[in-house]
Structure 1
């Protein structure tokens, strides 16, 4: 009698769903089982969520809250809805169990960790479909009813939110309070950050630079920045860029998680000191910024090495971070936006390119196809 080896993927976001889909085609169902565990019964396609938070145009919630029912091959694989709260390793390289909220334990021989990041503000979705739809509806109401909206922080999410608000309500006042002298992080060149500022201002978005907003709720219809600037507002939106959802990994072994919550791996994307446990997606500790573009490359390395581990072979694939070709695209509503690539000394693209490539569809059709729709 053959004892099957159990493969578990934790997290069904952009990285985990892709890895589970490809593994379901490549694992041998007579030798393996495959389980994808996700806290929600659907994946959330994050690049389209900023627009979904602002408007009901196009009913994006019907398109980007995508069920898992068509993801895995009919040959192999099941999806388990639940939240992983602990990992119990028998010994390094010998498998173990993941523990779900409620106490259920699932055995693994190989474990792939893709927990993603927890977002805040209008992108902090609950776990059930009913709660998520109510959450989306409430944020849309907030944006609709506010006349002056202040964004605390000049990062990508707030910039894109500001652009979507001005797209659908050009008469509303939108102000971004940013601690630096330009939008975004200074790891991007000033000429790109200045272009972002220019494109935002062309849409009527205002900035308060080199200042901070600690107040998340207006008092008497206003907020006050650290420098003492008083802004009459109806609503404050805070976006800190996301926090790695790696608490359960840190509780398992704090030495494999950085102070910022990222997971330390070998170039094989195998977690250090824990053979047979792999990590992919936004929580991998390297110099690349978060983004969907790297998930396919992560998947290729992880899948090859998972198969090697299952077959008792030395791991054959390594991953090289590509921060030198890092690309960021900011959509500013349906009409366009601005993008930057580090290739060729740094290239900037404007509204037409962003409109043609991204802002028209936000890659929603492609995301649905990857999920089997």
Structure 2
């Protein structure tokens, strides 16, 4: 509603144009009243980067850029929202209770964007092939460079046997079947012990059937950048003319670093209440990869858990009520592709269920969720280069 004292709009600012931010914007756009509310998305990139499509985009020279790099044009639906492209450098809260406004987000341009309620979903930052530049030209150059690296290499070593490493190996084998692909994993099995051994072993068997090599209980010694071989921690040398790191990302939480009271853990994650309000800052919410919550970081948890809680609670705060929707965690579910036609899925209900190629292909492998995602943000389901 409008403030009785200042007769002004109440402004919600969402920081982060990734999957979390887009999902919150979609949810709020259908609930906010244009007569009383403003909605602003602040994003470091001019377009939405749909990360689940990244590995196929890099491995497949024929994949359209718009399968991952999507315009924000229709994400507000009929609500008159605004997209501001810029990097948030800090958050300034208004400590004057009588002033009513929550504060400002400060952009690298020096612009200050006022907010009443702030939602932070800045995601993770990565190294190597997933370190996409923010600008459009840099993004396209990055894709071109990595496609060339993969195409011109014969012995590719992927460091990390988590979901990214597994899926990347399958994508490379799909589009470059003659290449020698090896996963080096520090653990005795793929993934982590969050998942049952039977599922981890099943994934290993599926990859080996495709000719993907796996080396367990090992770590990388030299970088392999200027050598035809890669030296492992044990002293073993393996052929390597392209080394790809596939370890987990780091939370992108620098703008929250100087908030008082402090909101970050020693690992850089945001401390939140079950309402997903930032500890000590009731008009700021956080979700996605950046929050300190005891669960695996996964897109499905954001879409079907975090964002619903945040949208409901933002609406209550705008109405002058206390947030009361709580996040209780999500069922562990992991859908891992093995190229376009297969993979393995784990659903953590009862004693846990595992599914193979057919269901995984239907759920994700066929188009890595691109069609569904594009339709959700108001684009034609089939990507094309003119987007």
Shift of the 92–57 alpha-carbon distance from structure 1 to 2, 3 Å rule, reads farther
In the aligned structure 2, how far is the partner of 1:172 from the partner of 1:315?
A: 53
Which residue is 1:361 aligned to?
367
- CA contact under 8 A between 2:218 and 2:234: conserved in structure 1? yes
User: Alignment partner for residue 370 of structure 1, among 376, 384, 387?
Assistant: 376
Work out the number of aligned pairs and report it: 370
Q: Which has the higher helix share?
A: 1
Shift of the 263–92 alpha-carbon distance from structure 1 to 2, 3 Å rule, reads farther
Which residue is 2:353 aligned to?
347
Which residue is 1:14 aligned to?
19
In the aligned structure 2, how far is the partner of 1:277 from the partner of 1:191?
A: 41
Which residue is 1:65 aligned to?
69
Q: CA deviation at 1:80?
A: 0.4
In the aligned structure 2, how far is the partner of 1:248 from the partner of 1:218?
A: 33
Q: CA deviation at 1:289?
A: 1.3
Which residue is 1:102 aligned to?
109
In the aligned structure 2, how far is the partner of 1:314 from the partner of 1:348?
A: 40
Which residue is 2:39 aligned to?
34
In the aligned structure 2, how far is the partner of 1:266 from the partner of 1:229?
A: 47
Which residue is 1:194 aligned to?
201
Shift of the 16–220 alpha-carbon distance from structure 1 to 2, 3 Å rule, reads closer
Q: Does residue 306 of the first structure (1) align with residue 311 of the second (2)?
A: no
Deviations, residues 48-75 of structure 1 (Å, cap 9, x unaligned): 111111112332x122211111111333
Runs of 4+ in 1 over 4 A off after TM superposition: none
User: Alignment partner for residue 89 of structure 1, among 64, 88, 93?
Assistant: 93
User: Alignment partner for residue 290 of structure 1, among 279, 288, 297?
Assistant: 297
In the aligned structure 2, how far is the partner of 1:174 from the partner of 1:63?
A: 25
Which residue is 1:271 aligned to?
278
- CA contact under 8 A between 1:37 and 1:81: conserved in structure 2? yes
Q: Does residue 76 of the first structure (1) align with residue 80 of the second (2)?
A: yes
SS of match in other structure, 1:141: helix
In the aligned structure 1, how far is the partner of 2:247 from the partner of 2:367?
A: 26
Which residue is 1:327 aligned to?
333
In the aligned structure 1, how far is the partner of 2:225 from the partner of 2:283?
A: 50
In the aligned structure 1, how far is the partner of 2:202 from the partner of 2:42?
A: 41
SS of match in other structure, 2:63: helix
Instruction: Name structure 1 gaps, 5 residues minimum.
Output: none
In the aligned structure 1, how far is the partner of 2:57 from the partner of 2:286?
A: 29
Q: CA deviation at 1:172?
A: 0.8
Q: Does residue 45 of the first structure (1) align with residue 50 of the second (2)?
A: yes
Shift of the 232–254 alpha-carbon distance from structure 1 to 2, 3 Å rule, reads farther
Deviations, residues 142-196 of structure 1 (Å, cap 9, x unaligned): 0000000011111111111111111112211111111111111122221111111
Instruction: Name structure 2 gaps, 5 residues minimum.
Output: 1-5, 380-387
Which residue is 2:342 aligned to?
336
In the aligned structure 1, how far is the partner of 2:109 from the partner of 2:208?
A: 50
- CA contact under 8 A between 1:25 and 1:76: conserved in structure 2? no
In the aligned structure 2, how far is the partner of 1:220 from the partner of 1:267?
A: 50
- Larger deviation: 208-217 or 110-119? 208-217
TM (norm. structure 1) is 0.95
Q: CA deviation at 1:45?
A: 1.1
